[in-house]
Amino acid sequence: MKRNKTSKAWLHEHLTDPYVQRANAEGYRARAAYKLMEIDDRDRLLRPGAVVVDLGAAPGSWCQVAVQRCGGGRVFALDLLPVEPIAGVDFLQGDFSENDVLAEFERRLDGSRVDVVLSDMAPNLSGVATVDQARSVMLGELALDFAVSHLRPAGRFLVKVFQGEGFMAFRQEMERRFQSVQVRKPKASRDRSAEVYLLGGQPRA
């Protein structure tokens, strides 16, 4: 009974969420689009002609924003889950930490360096806070390794991380590997959510 009430409360909050309603009206696949827009409006990540990689891209709302804001650029999306096609997005289904998927991505990249790596990934929640937090940090670490390997010298990396055990260690690792690291908490993030975004700039050689 309690779980049913919780599900109903979540559904009501979701359906009445102004960002959900706005996404439905404006054709975005998820409310998360507005998180990226807000960060980009402030930090100007997505520029015309940029090469952008979206890790954990499903359902594709960040790709939609990237395509709109990077006219003339290239947008790559990688995810374990299928993503419905988006014009202007080169999608690769698979685990980007596996060698064969990484090799296929690099073949498509064809020697280019990447301007921006985005990661809005979150683990499938188990309901056990310590387990979910550890999985979140692990995903962040995988995305960080990918970003440092593929970004150009002036490149930038935006990653979602949940505050909790392991967060400060991950932030310190970001600071070790990027010349600048900033914390962003967009208004479109729900107040109760522990999620924040770390923005790294200029990977260290």
Q: Which residue has the higher pLDDT, 9 or 82?
A: 82
CA end-to-end distance (rounded Å), the chain? 55
Is pLDDT at 102 greater than 90 in this prediction? yes
User: Do residues 174 and 180 touch, judged by C-beta distance below 8 A?
Assistant: no
- As given in the structure block, the two tokens for residue 44 are 């100007």
> What would the DSSP string read from start to end of 61-124?
HHHHHHHHHSTTSEEEEEESS-----TTEEEEES-TTSHHHHHHHHHHHTTPPEEEEEE---PP
The Cα–Cα gap between 68 and 10 comes to 31
User: What's the predicted TM-score (pTM) here?
Assistant: 0.91
User: Do residues 74 and 52 touch, judged by C-beta distance below 8 A?
Assistant: yes
Residue 3 has φ and ψ, to the nearest 5°, of: -65, -40
Q: What is the pLDDT, as a whole number, of residue 129?
A: 84
What the chain holds in terms of domains, given with CATH numbers, is 30-203 (3.40.50.150)
Instruction: Encode pLDDT of 132-185 as tens digits.
Output: 899 999 999 999 999 999 999 999 999 999 999 999 999 999 999 999 999 999
User: Do residues 82 and 88 touch, judged by C-beta distance below 8 A?
Assistant: no
pLDDT tier, 11 (very low <50, low <70, confident <90, very high otherwise)? low
The residues annotated as belonging to the active site are 160
CA 107 to each of CA 27, 76, 92, 100: distance values in angstroms, whole numbers, following the listed order: 32, 12, 11, 11
Residue 91 has φ and ψ, to the nearest 5°, of: -100, 135
pLDDT tier, 5 (very low <50, low <70, confident <90, very high otherwise)? low
pLDDT tier, 13 (very low <50, low <70, confident <90, very high otherwise)? low
Listed in sequence order, the residues at least 6 apart from 26 whose beta carbon sits closer than 8 Å to its beta carbon are none
Is pLDDT at 88 greater than 60 in this prediction? yes
Is pLDDT at 100 greater than 90 in this prediction? yes
Q: What is the pLDDT, as a whole number, of residue 110?
A: 95
Percentage of residues in the chain having pLDDT higher than 70: 93
